[in-house]
Chains A and B, each alone.
Chain A
Amino acid sequence: MGLTFISSILFATIVAGTPLIIVALGELITEKSGVLNLGAEGTMSVGAVAAFAVAHQTGSPLLGILAGMGAGMVMSLLFGISALTLMANQVASGLALSIFGVGLSAFIGKPYESVALASVEPIRIPLLHRIPVLGPALFEQQGLVYFSWLLIVAVAWFLYRSRSGLVLRAVGESPVSAHSIGYNVVRIRYQAVLFGGAMAGIGGAFLSVFYTPMWVEGMVAGRGWIALSLVVFATWRPGRVMIGAYLFGGCMIAQMFVQGSGARINIPSQFLSSLPYVATVLVLVLISRNRSTIRLNSPASLGQTFLRDA
């Protein structure tokens, strides 16, 4: 097994984990404010198609990312109006958003199905990319990969080291208390929801502009749901979200390398395909098996509607 081999597994793992990290961190912020938005799959789809369309029209991947982000925010705004302003059930609103988003993206995307986008050259970090094995895997990646790393740090810092992060968590723990000391719960929740939508849109953009540079209906293929469950299994901790996402990506890539090696290993491929899911859940459950920390980390008001006048 050569070093380039390890390097290429590592490279592919990071690529596969990146959209999950971005989307899951967005959802994490949303959920920390006490709002459960199940619309990630639909939001990602709409983000993906918007990003593809704009990147195709303008030739600029960066504008594509911005379009994906904007589309994601519009989608989450719809969710906000329904779940926060009109105080509809969050679970139902989120599911509706998912179904609506997947359908809407297919509708908007019709004219773009026959178009292929040129693949975007990776960004090489000077010097660092020369490190053997790690260099090509870690420092010759797409810009959004570096963005996902910054995002982990930023989200962790925001939640646990900043005042607004504290307020956000307070709103998620007890909206009534936060309200009574003068915080505008609905506004803070709106901001969290919009951030979640923006990240889901960027995650979608990563898929359609960088990962597989094309648009086809259904191309998100369940990644929104995986991101959602990552948040729960990671017990709302940014660092664990990263571990979970890379573990998931890593298992998926590793099992493909086993199959593709042509080695005569007698493991059913169905088992190998389910391995990423099983392994991720298992590991995350193990590292966060302490019940009191789960209770500590999970937002107490998650999924509950906040009635201002109650």
Chain B
Amino acid sequence: MNRRNLALATISGAALLASTALMGAPPAAAPTKIGFIYVSPVGDAGWTYQHDLGRKQMEAEMKGAVTTKFIENVPEGADAERIIRQLAQDGNKIIFTTSFGYMNPTIKVAASYPDVAFFHATGYKTAKNVGIYNARFYEGRYLNGVIAGKMTKSNIAGYVAAFPIPEVVMGINAFTRGMKSVNPKAEVRVIWVNSWFDPGKEREAAMTLISQGADMITHHTDSTAVVQAAEEKHKEKGTWAFSYHSDMAKYGPTAQLSGTTHVWGDFYTRIVKEVLAKKWTGTNVWGGIKDGMIKLAPMSKSVPPDVQKQVHQLEAEIKAGKLHPFAGPVIDQGGKEILPKGKNMSDSDINAMNYYVQGVASVFPKN
């Protein structure tokens, strides 16, 4: 039992005492218990932090009707199943499992708790009582790319990326397409650090890209190191940054131009209401800007007003369904046409992306 679990056990023990004490008094129906399981510590920025913001928002909006609890830093694997089972055993009626690797444990545990509703983020397996949800991160990436294309002086953007899986690749491609759409000379260079979280490596990768001429920097990794690196080099090299997961303006007050942030709160509130009203029949949500699940981090005042205007307009077009970041023609790095003009890429094709589009300078890492 590690420190966190121990602390948690103490807290949940206290909560249990409190709840039994409450049970002594007979008033209205007890609030529904809702559990969350996180893959990393909540911290101050990043993937899990955004989910926790969502949890807090939902709890505040449903005050009195629900109580929530979370278990953080649970590795994907055997431990996850035990903890999901424990959450169900403890009487949580709705359970959110917020990392891809929780998919199989979630399905497994859900089978033995048919009256509990499970929601799994970023996976693809569903069941009668398991819904899935995800966000269209690439929509925000496309808009960030447009800003980068407009503001770059070197025409080179640097991208610090974790692992070559579709979720990351589609972000790189969307960013590149956004950048190219306003700046045909633009190119995007990618450094894979093969780690979701290693601030030292992320920083070195960012510094490497900056020293090789990239003046627009973004990342698909979990720490704030890349934005901080851009901030540090801003004076000397004029480097700008786009944050991911969270708004990281605090770490790059001058350098951050905008960012792609995830907003889960509205979704959590909506879905919990549905379940409580017994109207829920299954979920497969892949929400984007339209659904409020993806938001741009506020554009800094360094972004010229005409660019801001253009981005807002494009954002409205994406919302209205008029603009798709992967609208044909989609041409891969080698010049092959993946999708002809006039068509929008299907969700399943986006989810299987294993190539770079034209404009990415680096070679796609094949397995």
Is A221's CB under 8 angstroms from B251's CB? no
Expressed in whole angstroms, the minimum distance between the Cβ of B354 and any Cβ of chain A is 13
Is A119's CB under 8 angstroms from B207's CB? no
Residue of A nearest to B227 (CB): A116
Query: Which chain A residues (80-114) contact chain B, with CB distance < 8 Å?
Result: 99, 103-104, 106-107, 113-114
Is A59 located at the chain interface by the 8 A CB criterion? no
Q: A214-B225, A268-B365 are in contact. Are A106 and B41 (CB under 8 A)?
A: yes
Is A5 located at the chain interface by the 8 A CB criterion? yes
Is B87 located at the chain interface by the 8 A CB criterion? no
* CA of A10 to CA of B91, assembled, Å: 57
Query: Which chain A residues (247-298) contact chain B, with CB distance < 8 Å?
Result: 252-253, 256-257, 259-262, 264-266, 268-270, 272-273
Is B250 located at the chain interface by the 8 A CB criterion? yes
Stretch at the interface among B103-111, B193-201, B282-290, B292-300: B193-201
* CA of A207 to CA of B223, assembled, Å: 14
Residue of A nearest to B205 (CB): A256
Query: Which chain A residues (195-241) contact chain B, with CB distance < 8 Å?
Result: 207, 211-214, 216-219, 221-223
Is A12 located at the chain interface by the 8 A CB criterion? yes
Mask, B152-174, CB within 8 Å of A = 1, is 00001010000010000000000
Stretch at the interface among B113-121, B183-191, B309-317, B339-347: B183-191
Is A185 located at the chain interface by the 8 A CB criterion? no
For A217, list chain B residues within 8 Å (CB). Answer: 41, 43
* CA of A252 to CA of B204, assembled, Å: 9
Query: Which chain B residues (96-151) contact chain A, with CB distance < 8 Å?
Result: none
* CA of A260 to CA of B212, assembled, Å: 7
Is A211's CB under 8 angstroms from B203's CB? yes
Q: A114-B250, A273-B194 are in contact. Are A252 and B201 (CB under 8 A)?
A: yes
Is A221's CB under 8 angstroms from B199's CB? yes
For A223, list chain B residues within 8 Å (CB). Answer: 200
* CA of A217 to CA of B158, assembled, Å: 26
For A106, list chain B residues within 8 Å (CB). Answer: 3-4, 41
* CA of A213 to CA of B190, assembled, Å: 24
Is A214's CB under 8 angstroms from B207's CB? no
Expressed in whole angstroms, the minimum distance between the Cβ of B149 and any Cβ of chain A is 16
Greatest chain B CB density within 10 A among A99, A106, A253, A260 is at A260
Is B192's CB under 8 angstroms from A259's CB? yes
For A261, list chain B residues within 8 Å (CB). Answer: 189, 212
Is B200's CB under 8 angstroms from A264's CB? no
Is B204's CB under 8 angstroms from A256's CB? yes
Residue of A nearest to B6 (CB): A103
Mask, A108-129, CB within 8 Å of B = 1, is 0000011010010000000000
* CA of A259 to CA of B160, assembled, Å: 10
For A270, list chain B residues within 8 Å (CB). Answer: 192, 194, 365, 367
Is A253's CB under 8 angstroms from B191's CB? no
For B158, list chain A residues within 8 Å (CB). Answer: 260
Is A12's CB under 8 angstroms from B204's CB? yes
Is B228's CB under 8 angstroms from A256's CB? no
Is B2 located at the chain interface by the 8 A CB criterion? yes
Q: Which of B189, B212, B225 contacts A212 (CB 8 A)?
A: B225
For A265, list chain B residues within 8 Å (CB). Answer: 363
Q: A114-B250, A269-B194 are in contact. Are A221 and B200 (CB under 8 A)?
A: yes
For A207, list chain B residues within 8 Å (CB). Answer: 200
* CA of A113 to CA of B52, assembled, Å: 15
Q: Which of A104, A114, A219, A268 contacts B3 (CB 8 A)?
A: A104
Mask, A12-52, CB within 8 Å of B = 1, is 10001000000000000000000000000000000000000
Is B209 located at the chain interface by the 8 A CB criterion? yes
Query: Which chain B residues (328-367) contact chain A, with CB distance < 8 Å?
Result: 361-363, 365-367
* CA of A264 to CA of B214, assembled, Å: 17
For B43, list chain A residues within 8 Å (CB). Answer: 113, 216-217
Expressed in whole angstroms, the minimum distance between the Cβ of A105 and any Cβ of chain B is 10
For A116, list chain B residues within 8 Å (CB). Answer: 224, 228, 250-251
Is A174 located at the chain interface by the 8 A CB criterion? no
Is A8 located at the chain interface by the 8 A CB criterion? yes
Greatest chain B CB density within 10 A among A113, A257, A262 is at A262
* CA of A215 to CA of B361, assembled, Å: 33
Greatest chain B CB density within 10 A among A219, A259, A264, A265 is at A259
Greatest chain B CB density within 10 A among A216, A222, A223, A261 is at A216
Expressed in whole angstroms, the minimum distance between the Cβ of B197 and any Cβ of chain A is 6
Is B3's CB under 8 angstroms from A262's CB? no
Q: A103-B4, A213-B228 are in contact. Are A260 and B200 (CB under 8 A)?
A: no
Query: Which chain A residues (108-154) contact chain B, with CB distance < 8 Å?
Result: 113-114, 116, 119
Q: Which residues of A contact B (CB under 8 A)?
A: 5, 8, 12, 16, 99, 103-104, 106-107, 113-114, 116, 119, 207, 211-214, 216-219, 221-223, 252-253, 256-257, 259-262, 264-266, 268-270, 272-273
Further contacts, 5 of them, CB under 8 A, given A218-B197, A260-B209, A262-B361: A12-B208, A99-B2, A212-B200, A216-B223, A221-B200
Q: Which residues of B contact A (CB under 8 A)?
A: 2-4, 41, 43-44, 156, 158, 164, 187, 189-195, 197-201, 203-205, 207-209, 211-212, 214, 223-225, 228, 232, 250-251, 361-363, 365-367
Q: List 19 A-B contacts (CB under 8 A).
A: A5-B211, A12-B204, A16-B200, A99-B2, A214-B225, A216-B43, A217-B41, A219-B199, A219-B223, A252-B204, A253-B204, A259-B208, A260-B189, A260-B212, A264-B363, A268-B365, A268-B367, A270-B194, A270-B365
